[in-house]
Amino acid sequence: MNVYEFTISILTDSRGKTSRARALDELVWLRSRFVFPGGYEDARHILGSHNVVFLGGVPGSGRNTAAWMLLYGHYSGAEEFHELSSKDEDETRRFDPDRIGERELLLLDLSDVERRDWRGIQADLYPLIKSVREHAARLVVVLPRDGVRAEEFRADLDRYRVGITRPPIRQVLRRYLREGGIPGEEIDLSIPKLSAFLDGEPPARVVARFAQIVLEIRERSQREGEFAVWCESARTVMTETGEAVIRLLSRTHGWPQRALLLTTAMLHGAHADAVYHGAASLLDVTGHQENERMLLEREDLVTRLHGIDVKSDTSGRVWFTGVEYDSAIRAHFWKHVPELRVHLRDWVGETVSSDELDEEDRERLVQRFAEQCLHDKYRMKLAEAVRQWVASSANPHQLRAAAMVLEKGLREKEHGRFFRKQVYEWSREDQLPARFIQMLVAMCREVIAVHHPDQAVVRLHHMARREHTTTTARNALVELVREKAQLHRLMLDRLNYQLAVEPEKKRRYPADIDLFLELAAPASLTDPRGRRRAPITETVVRGWLTGCWGAVFKCPPDLWSPRMRDWLVEASRDERHRGFLLDTLVEGGDQHMDVLSRLYTTARDLASTSPPEEREDRTLLVKLVRRRIDTVIGIPGA
């Protein structure tokens, strides 16, 4: 199994669900906990009636969540979700209306856009909205977080604007608790301290965290006790855990004990043996020496764990006695001991291969490390870890760790753009190890393509140009492009730009010629594939094809003659598109007599060897080819 197949297996979970299926599961999970914010019904009506809606509102009002829920409301099981980008990338056109698929569910998040850029963006939205309607798609636009005043909207767009306000916070908490398994009759939101907490209108994310802590406390108490006790304990956890951890750290002296503390936090829930060996490994990685006292003179592991408020269960797995102690300790060391960060990356890379860990332990370890890195200041460290773990070893556990953290980064709303950009930068490097390329290909195909298929195509194209000993990127690119008509258009546009638009200023990639010949199969150009028109009938597409053929015709004829013959065969059979196919080929020849001569002789050979039922069409084809060639080279009367 190569790295590509290995990564695909990682991205398919134990239930056989792919990354695409898990993304849909997340929407289902979110829908079960979603409480309609103010303005939601108006937004739903506008989207249903006009196929587009603009969501405004203050930060924290839940606009992005509302946007996904609005789109999910139009999901029947067949539609594709697609996030549009507000920024140009790699010579691609922003908001290209030709890349809208049939019945696609589109999200355009402009929350990070400056208000001063809004006027220019509005002009780009007109053709996009027109295309959305033509393709029966749905588009939700999240407006800039700085707000857009009514007078800054063009009149014909303002009617699609809706202001979203925060949902009732008590309903949010009740919904989370009920979905977590607490019966509705047990939930009492009138408890004084809980009511005071909710009266402060905390952000929805804080309420969701509070609910999660309540559920964890309930689970730890084996569902015994009272709702009021769970809530009071949860408030204590949220307000006092930080101070409790600081007190714990103040009485934890010496690196051996601190290494045990951090290791327990990173391996929380693993077996005590794994924690013990992990702590010894952390001391080694950081250059600290273990206490050299005789073995039997040292404190036993149980005593050492007790000293850091850790207990073990009947199976030997260890847990902090306090809820959320593990996450608070991880955050403390990461934030306040910055010189430890690189060592922690190396330690995680080694520890995932430990025989003391099972697969669930390994997954939790990797996820916990990723959580520390997912911050604007530190996320490059996660990218560095991915590269190091893939490039330095073929160890399957390290490869799995690299795939897991990269997938997590790509799927995070706040950081997904950064990691997609990082994959883009990697995809343009010439000397990447083959196994790294294979992993990136899998990420493009199975993760990025879920909501950003156009960006997946760009990255796969760069890698396909640069791979020499494999065809993993090329095969994944062709497979993805063939799935959607709009991605096929995108690739033809890119290939034309590379091969025909000022080619002398660009680096030549032999793979581009090969890709064009692969993607220029005539059947893919004469089939509308659910769109209003076949690609070959569109002037812009024929321009791309003509440009690419012009570049291809400069290569040895043995390379392109089979595909040219396919076009002539299709032209003889398809009367409706015959003229488009022939004009494209002849114009691509651009008065090069050797090319036009081969075109004519190929058509003549087809006619002379055709079966009786096709002879009439192919004889006519010869005449049409000759007439077009004569016109191009300027023979009078042609």
pLDDT at residue 3 is higher than 80:
no
Return the residue matching tokens 């916070």. Answer: 169
- Could you give the CA distance from residue 446 to residue 23 in angstroms, rounded to a whole number? 11
pLDDT at residue 33 is higher than 50:
yes
User: Which helix (DSSP H) or strand (DSSP E) does residue 495 occupy?
Assistant: helix 485-499
> How many whole angstroms from its chain centre is CA 18?
13
Residue 253's pLDDT band, with cuts at 50, 70 and 90, is confident
Looking at per-residue pLDDT, the higher value among 171 and 89 belongs to 171
Whole-number Cα distances in Å, 271 to 229, 267, 351, 355: 30, 8, 14, 11
For 171-227, the pLDDT digits (tens) are 999 999 999 999 999 999 999 999 999 999 888 889 999 999 999 999 888 777 789
The answer to whether 413 and 404 have CB atoms below 8 angstroms apart is no
- Could you give the CA distance from residue 484 to residue 480 in angstroms, rounded to a whole number? 7
Instruction: Choose among 57, 86, 102, 5: nearest CA to 475.
Output: 5
Report the pLDDT value the prediction gives residue 418, as an integer from 0 to 100. Answer: 95
Mean pLDDT of the region 605-613: 89
Report the pLDDT value the prediction gives residue 296, as an integer from 0 to 100. Answer: 45
For 306-352, the pLDDT digits (tens) are 889 999 999 999 999 999 999 999 999 999 999 999 999 999 999 99
Report the pLDDT value the prediction gives residue 637, as an integer from 0 to 100. Answer: 55
Tokens of residue 153, six digits: 């909207």
CB atoms within 10 A of CB 565: 16
pLDDT at residue 254 is higher than 70:
yes
Instruction: Choose among 489, 488, 508: nearest CA to 498.
Output: 508
Report the pLDDT value the prediction gives residue 158, as an integer from 0 to 100. Answer: 85
pLDDT at residue 88 is higher than 70:
no
Share of the chain above pLDDT 90, in %: 69
Report the pLDDT value the prediction gives residue 44, as an integer from 0 to 100. Answer: 97
Mean pLDDT of the region 60-89: 88
Q: Please list the helix, strand and coil fractions of the chain in percent, rounded to the nearest 5, in that order.
A: 65, 5, 30
Say which range, 89-93, 252-256, 409-413, 626-630, has the weakest mean pLDDT: 89-93
Instruction: Choose among 358, 362, 368: nearest CA to 350.
Output: 362
Highest CATH level, class, for 36-163? alpha beta
- Hey, what's the torsion of the CAs at 93, 99, 104, 107, to 10 degrees? 0
For 38-61, the pLDDT digits (tens) are 999 999 999 999 999 999 888 778
- Could you give the CA distance from residue 83 to residue 70 in angstroms, rounded to a whole number? 14
pLDDT at residue 105 is higher than 80:
yes
DSSP code string of 462-473: HHHHH-SS--HH
For 570-602, the pLDDT digits (tens) are 999 999 999 999 999 999 998 789 999 999 999
Tokens of residue 209, six digits: 């965290």
pLDDT at residue 526 is higher than 60:
yes
Report the pLDDT value the prediction gives residue 604, as an integer from 0 to 100. Answer: 95
The answer to whether 306 and 216 have CB atoms below 8 angstroms apart is no
Tokens of residue 473, six digits: 């990127």
Mean pLDDT of the region 555-562: 95
For 419-448, the pLDDT digits (tens) are 999 999 999 999 888 889 999 999 999 999
In the chain, where are the structural domains located?
Answer: 36-163, 169-247, 253-373, 484-633
Helix (H, G, I), strand (E, B) or coil at 318: strand
Report the pLDDT value the prediction gives residue 95, as an integer from 0 to 100. Answer: 76
Which residues, including other chains, have CB under 8 Å from residue 566's CB and lie 6 or more apart?
A: 521, 522
- Could you give the CA distance from residue 331 to residue 219 in angstroms, rounded to a whole number? 24
Say which range, 94-108, 441-455, 614-628, has the weakest mean pLDDT: 94-108
Residue 91's pLDDT band, with cuts at 50, 70 and 90, is very low
Report the pLDDT value the prediction gives residue 336, as an integer from 0 to 100. Answer: 93
- Could you give the CA distance from residue 417 to residue 69 in angstroms, rounded to a whole number? 21
> How many whole angstroms from its chain centre is CA 576?
40
Report the pLDDT value the prediction gives residue 377, as an integer from 0 to 100. Answer: 93
The residue count of the chain comes to: 638
C-alpha triplet 299, 333, 317: angle, nearest 5°: 50
pLDDT at residue 292 is higher than 60:
no
Most confident of 2-11, 49-58, 148-157, 586-595: 49-58
The answer to whether 345 and 339 have CB atoms below 8 angstroms apart is no
pLDDT at residue 393 is higher than 80:
no
Report the pLDDT value the prediction gives residue 1, as an integer from 0 to 100. Answer: 61
Tokens of residue 350, six digits: 């080694």
Computed over every residue of the chain, the mean pLDDT equals: 90
For 130-139, the pLDDT digits (tens) are 999 999 999 9
Share of the chain above pLDDT 70, in %: 95
The answer to whether 536 and 526 have CB atoms below 8 angstroms apart is yes
- Could you give the CA distance from residue 47 to residue 143 in angstroms, rounded to a whole number? 15
C-alpha triplet 272, 277, 279: angle, nearest 5°: 95
- Could you give the CA distance from residue 80 to residue 457 in angstroms, rounded to a whole number? 16
Mean pLDDT of the region 235-257: 90
Tokens of residue 622, six digits: 């010869």
Return the residue matching tokens 């791979």. Answer: 467
Instruction: Choose among 36, 37, 38, 49: nearest CA to 160.
Output: 49
